[in-house]
Amino acid sequence: MGGHFDLEQKKEKITILENEMKQENFWSNIEIANELNKELVSLKKIVEQLEKTKKSLTDNLELINICEENELRFMEKEINEQKSIIEQLEMNTLLNGNFDQLNCYLEIHPGAGGTESCDWASMLLRMYERFCEKNNYSYEVIDEQKGEEAGIKSAILLVKGDFAYGYFKVEKGVHRLVRISPFDSNSRRHTSFASVSVTPEFNHDIDIEIKESDLKIDVYHSSGAGGQSVNTSNSAVRITHLPTKTVVTCQNERSQLKNKDQAMKMLKSKLYQIEQEKKERELNQIKGENLSNEWGSQIRNYVLEPYKLIKDLRSEYESSNVDKILDGDILDIMKSVLKTKVE
């Protein structure tokens, strides 16, 4: 169980984390302590599964050597179960980025096209919400701006769960929809675009300085479905970081102070990610590597007319079952892109 699985390396990391947890001041910073504890639990789970799989494979190999041919079919079920476990362990080896294990902010913005694109953005929002519900991820709508006629002008989700950023990072880019427009009285085919960006949620203290003079803070009424759900006070917060033109908004809390705290947390995460990406680009230039910038590039087509086909342009993954995918069944697409990135 060597190679990509790095069993011994994971055991060493567990020992390091356990020693850190024994320090007297370990729980002085709850956020960092919880983050390290989460990493420790995840590592122990992987190591336990690796050792269990290793033993099971060894036992099965010994049985195969002594079994008659007609007896082997009784082992088929267990072998298939082990195959599934190994495939999941393989995915864990692909999710080895510095921030893959973190929660993430997922933002959706419609492209040009008015109502059409706003409706497409809302379809993507529903797809990601359904994916979370089906795969044991919790999510919180941090901000949502409704479209004038239909759909949404923007939305921000905070997604929480194991390797949330690791999986959702492959959704970063432009998503293209082709369909017969439900808003066109002549039933013509329309093409719509929506962009998705994904940022890790950094729970620990981020070493990044934000000057108060660099911020423009606006407050406004939270949008809602109407009636009692409308907040009549200026509780929603929009913060603009003037040097980088980075904008974050939050309106899910009824308190302006809580919305501001959440918005600042998002801003810190975004600025930290910008700094990390800048360093990575500089390193790639030194190495002589030219990597394409995925943001603003088309990564996936969703064609509903004149035929049904969803195709990811990076991994070449294709499926004609568009209804199932738009209902949140996108895990196989995510996995295909993750595998492509390491080939």
Helices (H), the chain: 7-21, 30-66, 76-94, 115-134, 164-168, 256-287, 322-326, 331-342
Please report whether residue 99 resides in a domain: no
Instruction: Output the pLDDT for position 141.
Output: 93
Render pLDDT for 172-193 as a digit per residue (tens, 0 to 9).
999 999 999 888 878 888 899 9
Instruction: Output the pLDDT for position 58.
Output: 67
Neighbours of 254 (CB within 10 A): 11
Residues 281, 177, single domain; the answer is no
What's the pLDDT band for 44 if we cut at 50, 70, 90?
A: confident
- Whether the full predicted model's pTM is greater than 0.85, yes or no, is no
Q: DSSP letters of 238-250?
A: EEEETTTTEEEEE
Handedness of CA 288, 294, 297, 299 (dihedral sign): positive
Residues 181, 264, single domain; the answer is no
Please report whether residue 50 resides in a domain: yes
Please report whether residue 61 resides in a domain: yes
Give the CATH number for residue 282: 3.30.160.20
Neighbours of 31 (CB within 10 A): 11
Residues 113, 168, single domain; the answer is yes
Residues 160, 76, single domain; the answer is no
What's the pLDDT band for 237 if we cut at 50, 70, 90?
A: very high
Yes or no: say if 221 and 231 are a contact pair by the CB < 8 Å rule.
yes
d(CA 160, CA 142): 13
Domain that holds residue 161: 104-205+295-342
Instruction: Output the pLDDT for position 296.
Output: 47
Residues 112, 196, single domain; the answer is yes
Number of independent structural domains in the chain: 3
Instruction: Output the pLDDT for position 4.
Output: 47
Give the CATH number for residue 63: 1.20.58
Whether the link from the prior residue into 182 is cis, omega within 30° of 0, is no
Taking 70 as the threshold, does the pLDDT of residue 294 lie above it? no
Give the CATH number for residue 122: 3.30.70.1660
Q: DSSP letters of 126-172?
A: HHHHHHHHHTT-EEEEEEEEE-SSSSEEEEEEEEESTTHHHHHGGG-
Instruction: Output the pLDDT for position 220.
Output: 83
Among 3-17, 21-35, 99-113, 149-163, the minimum mean pLDDT is found in 3-17
Taking 70 as the threshold, does the pLDDT of residue 169 lie above it? yes
Q: What percent of the chain has pLDDT over 70?
A: 78
d(CA 264, CA 267): 5
Render pLDDT for 202-234 as a digit per residue (tens, 0 to 9).
866 566 778 888 999 998 877 654 434 444 467
How far CA 155 is from CA of 47, 117, 142, 147, 163, in Å, comes to 38, 13, 8, 11, 21
Per the model's pLDDT, the better-predicted residue between 293 and 103 turns out to be 103
Instruction: Give the mean model confidence (pLDDT) for residues 250-264.
Output: 87
Instruction: Output the pLDDT for position 175.
Output: 95
Question: What tokens does 230 get?
Answer: 């409308």
Residues 87, 8, single domain; the answer is yes
